[in-house]
Structure 1
Amino acid sequence: MPSRYILIADSGSTKTDWVCIDPQAGHRQSRQSAGINPFYQTADEIIPVLLEQVVPGIEGEVGEIHFYGAGCADERSGMPVTRALKHCFPSATSVEVASDMLGAARGLCGHEPGLACILGTGANNAFFDGDRIAHSIGSLGFWLGDEGSGSYLGKTLVVHYLQNELPPDLHKSFIKAYPGLDRLTVLDHAYKKPYPNRYFASYSAFIAQHRDHEFIQELVRNAFGLFVKKYILKHTNATQYPVHFTGSIAYYYQDILRPVLESNGLQTGRILKSPIEGLIGYHLA
């Protein structure tokens, strides 16, 4: 009798990494879809994403699902995702929908204690005791927090541009990259259109292209410093445990991140673009 597959997902606001594993043969299928966040989407809006971008690439019967995502802080908040998954994968007898923070902690720490942090489109943190999230300095989301994230970096860059605070050469490059961008356009995306976090995170591409510029390096360094101060250092005995990171911002700017951690007396742990590999090991152990 063929084995029933295990489907694991790591979802942020921008994208979702999926991997479907045959636990007996070890065969895996990997896919990527748009980000899924029940804070912004209903079950009826999530279902088409799954049917169009995920289900067609899954060959085999899915019996177990572990979905880790932004906006899935508890059972109630994650219910739209649970309903969508059960609708699209009716063969699944076990569906776990948990926070992206728990996914990061399991993927980064395994079964060992440590601090797990997310720096992608958004930002988050938690102390994982090897079994569960024991403590977290709650993220306030895009509008009130997310220091160090891609959305925060993009928002900070745009504010500097609109307030004429960019160095002349960088200002010129920004105008060339985003011709016609003005205050009203930015305000429209910020307050009227959906997914303002994704919109501002899109400007991180400009930051990446000019990462060698002193102004950009200072911008990123300051954002990481704020993340450390507001979140990591507030954990009791933070300096006694490894501090792990996942997310594209942490991964691609680790050359700036590592010195910031070291200057605050922190132990740098694993820095991964995605926790998905660690999650595979966690669920197959």
Structure 2
Amino acid sequence: MILIADSGATKTDWRMMNADGVSTQVNTAGISPQYLDAAQIYTILADELLPNLEEKHPKAIYYYGTGCSSPDRNLRVEQALAKAFPGSLIHVDHDLLAAARALCGHQRGIACILGTGSNSCLYDGKNIEDNVPSLGFLMGDEGSGAYLGKMLIKAYLYRELPEELALSLKNRYNLTKDSILDSVYYSDMPSTYLATFARFMHDKRKDPVIRAMIYQNFDEFFERHICKYKDFDKVPVNFVGSIAFHFSDTLKQVAKKYGATIGTIITSPSDGLMAYHKELLAQIGEQ
């Protein structure tokens, strides 16, 4: 029995899998070692995950998570998991590898994450061949929900939104300048806060101002990321994440502009990861 985790900044999808498929599925809060230490991560596991696993203990854990891009950050996750699941074999990898495995399987292609944050890579069917770096919500994250939210909030504060649209936004979220700045500069998860405004933009996506922002968001992602990969117009460009899925019409328009071919667009890599890891159960030797 193995435990597969797909963790973003907003939520974590945990799936306990045996030879017959998924036996238990649990959702918890997102885990980002960029902002959380090992103790804080363990608290999430203890409060939200362990009580729902019915004392099932995995032989191996395959954890894919946002922010798992350095030994120090990965160690925080490993320490928390080791405390929660003593004796389990633990593998911690970046969520970008999860996206590539789920989207491309064993085929060459470009894999992209467009959720709260954004990232992309050229995948050779086994390993990540190239990666234009994701610079996070302060310097990058083009294509993401956080980037969309930042565009909207900046336009709101700079009084660049049409009056009716600005009033609708203000009333829906009870916005003030101080509440916005406090949430961006003093909260633990500013990118998650900014990404919440993507839902408003989806609801208002027919508005020409909002439509232009959505298009610009994806256009910048293609220009700064996708177009940097060798043969980007000759291999499928695949996407995972809520932003890619819910704004797929505009995403396809932008891809066409750059001569790229869209492959798969899914909301979550979990099903693809289960298929990828199913063969590992035989190696572990537990049904």
Shift of 1:184: 2.5
Shift of 1:70: 0.7
Question: Pairwise CA RMSD of aligned residues?
Answer: 1.2
- Of 259, 267, 270, which residue of structure 2 is paired with 1:276? 270
Shift of 1:207: 1.1
User: Which residue in the other structure is 1:184 paired with?
Assistant: 178
Shift of 1:26: 2.6
How many residues align? The count is 278
Structure-to-structure mapping, 1:240-259, within 5 angstroms: 240-259=234-253
User: Which residue in the other structure is 1:226 paired with?
Assistant: 220
Hey, what's the Cα distance between the residues in 2 that align with 1:178 and 1:284? 43
Hey, what's the Cα distance between the residues in 1 that align with 2:125 and 2:150? 35
Query: Does residue 182 of structure 2 align to residue 215 of structure 1?
Result: no
Shift of 1:76: 2.8
List gaps (5 residues or longer) in structure 2: 280-287
- Of 255, 262, 266, which residue of structure 1 is paired with 2:256? 262
Mean Cα deviation higher: 208-217 or 129-138: 208-217
User: Which residue in the other structure is 2:282 paired with?
Assistant: none
Q: Deviation per CA, 1:35-94, whole angstroms, max 9, x where unpaired?
A: 0011100110011100111112224221011100011013332111011111101141x2
User: Which residue in the other structure is 2:8 paired with?
Assistant: 12
Structure-to-structure mapping, 1:54-69, within 5 angstroms: 54-59=49-54, 60-69=56-65
Q: Partner amino acid for 1:268?
A: I
TM-score using structure 2 length: 0.94
Q: Partner amino acid for 1:15?
A: K
Structure-to-structure mapping, 1:1-285, within 5 angstroms: 5-23=1-19, 25-59=20-54, 60-92=56-88, 94-179=89-174, 181-285=175-279
Question: Measured at CA, do residues 66 and 160 of structure 1 come closer, stay the same or move farther in structure 2, by a change above 3 Å?
Answer: same
Contact 2:222-2:255 at 8 Å conserved across structures: yes
Contact 1:74-1:99 at 8 Å conserved across structures: no
Shift of 1:178: 2.6
Contact 1:239-1:266 at 8 Å conserved across structures: yes
TM-score using structure 1 length: 0.95
Q: Which of structure 1's runs of 4+ aligned residues deviate more than 4 A?
A: none
Contact 1:124-1:138 at 8 Å conserved across structures: yes
Mean Cα deviation higher: 147-156 or 185-194: 185-194
Hey, what's the Cα distance between the residues in 1 that align with 2:47 and 2:87? 18
Hey, what's the Cα distance between the residues in 1 that align with 2:97 and 2:187? 30
Hey, what's the Cα distance between the residues in 2 that align with 1:28 and 1:143? 39
List gaps (5 residues or longer) in structure 1: none
Contact 2:15-2:22 at 8 Å conserved across structures: no
Q: Deviation per CA, 1:146-175, whole angstroms, max 9, x where unpaired?
A: 011011101110110001111222122112
Q: Partner amino acid for 1:115?
A: I
Q: Partner amino acid for 2:16?
A: C
Contact 1:36-1:69 at 8 Å conserved across structures: yes
Hey, what's the Cα distance between the residues in 1 that align with 2:231 and 2:218? 20
